[in-house]
Chain A
């Protein structure tokens, strides 16, 4: 089993739709969790950290489920500009950071 797993997609959704991605992790000692977005041929950009209590930033909501070892990202009212690859990133201890392979989202008009 991979340490961090994501559905590669692509998820093709119309503008205005709600879409959710999950990311599962295998190490129960994982401490910090992040979602990054990466546009084609660009650098990853931090979207949000994921906190135990869940957190929201505008149209984006992140959740952490430690019992089932997954994090999720919900995007409401999708925009064309949300089209990108979404990377799940998990930190374990002081010397390990694991990137998921990414989930590709394509929002169409």
Chain B
């Protein structure tokens, strides 16, 4: 199974809402990632979890809060977002760290009104 799953596929939220994005992988990978991608731009790394511990936070605003409940799951909690946060949010996983091949989920397309 080389699949990374993400829910929901689409999300529309207001600036005062609280929502969560979910990601799951069953490949036994030890590293998981959150990326943000705007149209016609490459993915931007947000967070890296390695062995369930946050190892990299790319200076992401605190309105984005990651959580890794176990080695297969990764969440991204959203609160008080801005319209400019509208983007495709991609989850990925890899066997080890950034030096390894990454497998991406299909993404959650987020719109902030």
Contact = CB atoms under 8 A, between A and B. Distances in A.
Contact of B42 (A43, A49, A95, A102): A102
A70 interface: no
A43 B23 CA distance: 14
Contact of B45 (A46, A93, A97, A100): A97
A70 to B, nearest CB: 18
- Secondary structure of the A contact surface, majority rule: strand
A99 B43 contact: yes
Given A43-B107, A95-B56, A100 B42 contact: yes
Tier of interface size on chain B? 20 to 34
A99 B12 CA distance: 27
A46 B93 CA distance: 12
Interface in A60-109: 87, 91, 93-97, 99-102
Contacts of A87: 42
Contacts of B45: 97
Of B43, B45, B55, B107, most buried by chain A (CB within 10 Å of CB) is: B43
A32 B100 contact: yes
Interface in A2-36: 31-32, 34
Nearest to A102: B42
A1 interface: no
A46 B101 CA distance: 7
Interface of A: 31-32, 34, 41-46, 49, 87, 91, 93-97, 99-102
Interface of B: 41-45, 48, 55-56, 88, 90, 97-107
